[in-house]
Amino acid sequence: MTVPNVLLSGIVGSTAYGLAHEGSDIDRLGLFAAPTEELHGLRRPKESHVGKAPDSTLHEAAKWCRLALGGNPTAMELVWLPDELYEVRTPLGDELIGIRSSFLCARRVRDAYLGYATQQFRRLESRSDRSSSADTRGRAAKHARHLKRLCGQGLELYTTGRLTIRVENPEEYHAFGERVAADPSAARPLLGHYEAAFDTGRTALPDEPDEAPVEAWLRRVRAHFYPEAAASAVRA
């Protein structure tokens, strides 16, 4: 998949979390800028490009910003990756990393991270296929690991304003996944613990995100990819 004007891209998912095993897919996430001219036409350009082999998702800059402002955990991790996991990192991408805290607010982080974790639990709890096949248990264990990770990362972001992508004890996550694959109700105490921790924990985040730096960054992106503006800047 070839997409022009990629501003920031890196390896995410289980490899980034330190939870990958032999045979795990390598997931990539990034954002690109649509040519500014194309935003003024009758039909707007495609906002996301999703590819397989390798697995990759690229969101248009404005869409990524909307996702991140909403607290979307998958979008958010792109700007908190360890340096070695970035594969494309442009000056505009670095600027975005520099304003990553502007996207955060307490309510949206809590709702997004805890909400996604609760969805994972509901999937586990309502599984109709209770077979003991390796494939079924593997999917359930993966959902359980995501549940635990989302809870921990969400609470860290909520209480400190920082996000650590790589988990501290991968073996603990794998063991938890196996327990929950055997008995989905084993995830309930962990989810309850984090619900209480969010309710009682003191947040480091503001009530609302700071959209001004985000808007200013997006306007710089639009100016950069608008040929007339670029030509004027050269002439000046």
Q: Is residue 193 part of a domain?
A: yes
Longest dimension (CA), the chain: 69
Please tell me whether residues 98 and 23 are part of one structural domain.
Answer: yes
Residue 86: give the domain boundaries: 6-102+225-235
Please give the pLDDT value at position 31.
97
Q: Is residue 138 part of a domain?
A: yes
- What span, in angstroms and rounded, lies between the C-alpha atoms of 6 and 34? 9
Please tell me whether residues 112 and 183 are part of one structural domain.
Answer: yes
Please tell me whether residues 126 and 41 are part of one structural domain.
Answer: no
Please tell me whether residues 33 and 62 are part of one structural domain.
Answer: yes
Q: What is the pLDDT of residues 35-47, one digit of tens each?
A: 999 998 888 899 9
Q: What is the pLDDT of residues 118-148, one digit of tens each?
A: 988 988 887 645 556 777 888 899 999 999 9
Q: What is the DSSP letter of 53?
A: T
Please tell me whether residues 24 and 98 are part of one structural domain.
Answer: yes
Q: Domain containing 29 — which CATH number? A: 3.30.460
Please tell me whether residues 80 and 111 are part of one structural domain.
Answer: no
Please tell me whether residues 111 and 133 are part of one structural domain.
Answer: yes
> Computed over its alpha carbons, how large is the radius of gyration of the chain?
20
Q: Is residue 217 part of a domain?
A: no
Please give the pLDDT value at position 1.
66
Please tell me whether residues 137 and 91 are part of one structural domain.
Answer: no
Please tell me whether residues 128 and 170 are part of one structural domain.
Answer: yes
Q: Is residue 50 part of a domain?
A: yes
**Can you read off the two tokens belonging to residue 33?**
């800028």
Please tell me whether residues 40 and 82 are part of one structural domain.
Answer: yes
Q: Is residue 96 part of a domain?
A: yes
- What span, in angstroms and rounded, lies between the C-alpha atoms of 136 and 129? 8
Do 58 and 3 contact (CB within 8 A), yes or no? yes
Per-residue pLDDT of the chain (236 residues; tens, 9 = 90+): 688 999 999 999 999 999 988 777 899 999 999 999 999 888 889 999 999 877 899 999 999 999 999 999 999 999 999 999 999 999 999 999 999 999 999 999 999 999 999 988 988 887 645 556 777 888 899 999 999 999 999 999 999 999 999 999 999 999 999 999 999 999 999 999 999 999 999 999 999 999 999 999 999 999 999 976 555 555 55
Q: Is residue 131 part of a domain?
A: yes
Q: 46 φ, ψ to 5°? A: -60, 135
Q: Is residue 211 part of a domain?
A: no
Q: Is residue 57 part of a domain?
A: yes
Please tell me whether residues 127 and 97 are part of one structural domain.
Answer: no
Please give the pLDDT value at position 236.
53
**For the chain, how many structural domains are there in total?**
2
Please tell me whether residues 55 and 19 are part of one structural domain.
Answer: yes
Q: What is the pTM of this model?
A: 0.90
- The DSSP bridge pattern shows strands 27-32 and 55-60 to be parallel
